[in-house]
A and B are shown apart, each in its own frame.
Chain A
Amino acid sequence: MIKVSGLTKDYGARRAIQNLSFDAQQGEIVGFLGPNGAGKTTTMRILTGYMPPTDGEAIVAGYDVVEESLEVRKRVGYLPESVPLYYDMVVFDYLKYMGELRHIPDVDDRVDEVLDMVGLGSRANGYIGNLSKGMKQRVGLAQALLHRPEVLILDEPTIGLDPGQVVEVRELIREIGKERTVLLSTHLLNEAQNICDRVLIINKGKIVAEDTTENLQARLLGAERVVVRVRGEADELADSIKAIKGVRKVETLTDGGVEFEFASGKDLRPEVAKKVIKDGYDLLELRPLGMSLEEIFLELTGKEGKK
C-alpha cells in the first residue's frame, strides 16, 4: 500500500530527509516516531502528493506520488499536523465542500455518517471557529475519512484532545487500521505502543529503527531484566539469586528489592521463584522490567545525535 525507496528531500541547502526506505501493508498501522524536525511531516507531505521529493520514489495505493499524483490524492486521507480548517464555515458545509472536491456520491449522507463516526453529529451546524481544539481535531479527522481512503496519513492525530477523546480517536484509528493502511506520526510513545503494529523511528531525516515495539525492546536490550521483592528483611536475597546459574548483573535496590538479568530466550523466573521460597522468603513480586519505548527512543535518537 505504501512503498518508499530512497526518498530524499532538500529544502535549499538543508536536507530534510535522506534516503528513506520503508513500506506499509494493507491492514497495518505504522507509527512514525521522531523528535521535532526529524522529517516526519516532510515524508507525510510527499506521500500525500503535497510536494515532490528531490530524489527517490514513493508508491502509495499502487500509484507514484509524482507521476500519478492525482490518483494518489484520490486514495489518501490526510490530517495535517496544524489541522487547517476554514473557521468561518459551518462544520457540515466544510465537510460537504471537501466531499464535493472528492466527488463523493450522496455527499450529504456520507457527511452525516462521518460526523457520527467522530462524535460530532450534534455540532454539524456550528461554526468551526467556535469549536474547541479537540473538536476541530475531529473535524480534521472527519475530513480525512470522508472518502473512505485506502491509505490514511495522520500527522499527530491525538494532539490537543482530552484523555477521553484520545481513547475514542485511538479506537477509531485501530478500527480503520483493520482494513486500511494507516501511517501516523506521534510524539506520544505510549500511543505508538498502544495502537501501532510497527514503528519507524526517524531522526535527522534517516530511519534509525523499524520494527514492532516488542522486537525493538528485545533487540536493544539483548536480555531480560527482572525485579524481585520479598516481605521483610532480605539481606541475603541478592547472594541467593546470584547463585542461580545464568543469572547476571544482580543489584540490590534501595527499597530492598533485587534486580537481575538473564539472557533473553532463557526465562529463569521459575528457578528464581523456587529458590526464593526454598530460602524461606515470602515472595511478593517477580516482575519483568521491559525497556520502555521512551528509553528505546532516547537510546536511538541520542546515539544518532552524538554521531
Chain B
Amino acid sequence: MKNIWTIAKREYDNYFNGPLAYVVMLAILLPLGVYFSLILYFNSQQAYFGGAPAPDLSPINGLFAFLMIFLSPALTMRLLSDEARMGTLELLLTAPVRDSELVIGKWLGAMLFILTLLLITLVYPLVLNNLVSPGIDWLVVIASYLGLILLCGAMLALGVGVSAIFTNQFAAFFVTLGILFFLYFMIGLPAQLLPQSGEVMNYLSIQNHFDQMNLGTVTLGGVVYYLSLIALGLFSGTTAIEIRRWR
C-alpha cells in the first residue's frame, strides 16, 4: 500500500514538472468557464423575458466528461510506456514493488490530478448555489461528481492498461483514444439500429451511466460498471507488465 502511495505521489508531482498538467488544466477549465458564463448569461436573459428553469450543473459536468475522452489518454499515455522506453521500468521491476502496486500507483497519480481538477470545478456549484433561489440540489451535485469520478477513474485505468502494452507513448495515446471513443459514442449505436440488443449495448456504453448520474440517478449497475472497467484496466496493465518480464 505504501508503494502505491509513493508511486502515485511521484506521478502527481511529475505532472507539474512539465507543461502537461497546465495544458490539461487549461484545456478543461477554459471551456468549462466559458460554457458556465454562457449558461448563466442565457438563463438570466430567459429569466428576464419570461421565466426559465433554474440552470443546473449537468451541462458543465457533461462537458467535463466529454473533454476527458481526449485528455485522459494525454494524461496516461506516458505513465508506463515511457518507463519502458527510458529503461527505468527495469529499476522499478527490480525494486521490491509488486507489478500491481506499480500499475495502481500510476493510475492513482493520474486520478489525484483529476481529483484536483474536480476540486477546482466545485466553484461552479458554489457560484450557482448563490445565484439561484432556493439554492441547488446538492444531492444531484454529489451524484454528478460521483459519476465524474467513476467515469474518469475508468478512463484513466483503461489508459494505464494501454500504456503498459506500448513503449511508444503516441501509440498508447491513439489506442486509448480509440477505445474511449468507441465506448463513449459507438457502442451505443447498435442499440438504435437493433432494438433487441439495446439493453446490453446501452449498459456497455461508458456515457449512459454517467448521463444518469449527472442527472442525479445513481444506480448499482452504473457503479458496478465503472468499477469493473477500472479493475479491467488495472488488471490489463498488470498482466502486460508481467508479460514483459516473461518475454
Contact = CB atoms under 8 A, between A and B. Distances in A.
A80 B90 contact: yes
Centre residue among A71, A84, A143 by max chain B CB count within 10 A:
A84
Contact of A84 (B7, B10, B87, B247): B87
B93 interface: yes
B86 A52 contact: no
B93 to A, nearest CB: 5
B8 to A, nearest CB: 12
Interface string B1-28: 0110011001000100110000000000
Contact of A50 (B7, B88, B94): B94
Contacts of A225: none
B246 A84 contact: no
Interface in A65-110: 70-71, 73-74, 76, 78, 80, 82, 84-86, 88-89, 97-98, 100-103
B18 to A, nearest CB: 7
Nearest to A78: B94
B94 A98 contact: no
Interface stretch (B95-103, B137-145, B165-173): B95-103
B91 interface: yes
Centre residue among B3, B6, B88, B91 by max chain A CB count within 10 A:
B91
Contacts of A50: 90, 93-94, 245
B122 to A, nearest CB: 31
Contact of B88 (A74, A76, A84): A84
A74 B96 contact: yes
Contacts of B2: 100, 103
Contacts of B98: 70
Contacts of A76: 94
A73 B18 contact: no
B246 A101 contact: no
B91 A143 contact: yes
B245 A70 contact: no
Interface string A15-55: 00000000000000000000000000000010011111000
Contacts of A98: 91, 95
A52 B245 contact: yes
A70 B7 CA distance: 17
A80 B91 contact: yes
Contacts of B90: 45, 50, 80, 84
Nearest to A83: B87
A51 B246 contact: yes
B4 to A, nearest CB: 11
Contacts of A74: 96
A80 B87 contact: yes
A239 B6 CA distance: 77
A84 B86 contact: yes
Contacts of B87: 80, 82, 84
A101 B97 contact: yes
B245 A88 contact: no
Contacts of B3: 101
Contacts of A143: 91
Nearest to B87: A84
Interface in B229-247: 245-247
A73 B95 CA distance: 6
B91 A84 contact: yes
Interface string B34-49: 0000000000000000
11 contacts: A11-B247, A50-B90, A51-B246, A70-B98, A80-B91, A85-B88, A97-B6, A97-B10, A101-B3, A101-B97, A102-B96
Interface of B: 2-3, 6-7, 10, 14, 17-18, 86-98, 245-247
Given A51-B247, A78-B94, A97-B10, 13 more contacts: A11-B247, A49-B93, A49-B94, A50-B94, A51-B246, A71-B96, A73-B96, A73-B97, A80-B87, A84-B91, A86-B86, A86-B88, A88-B17
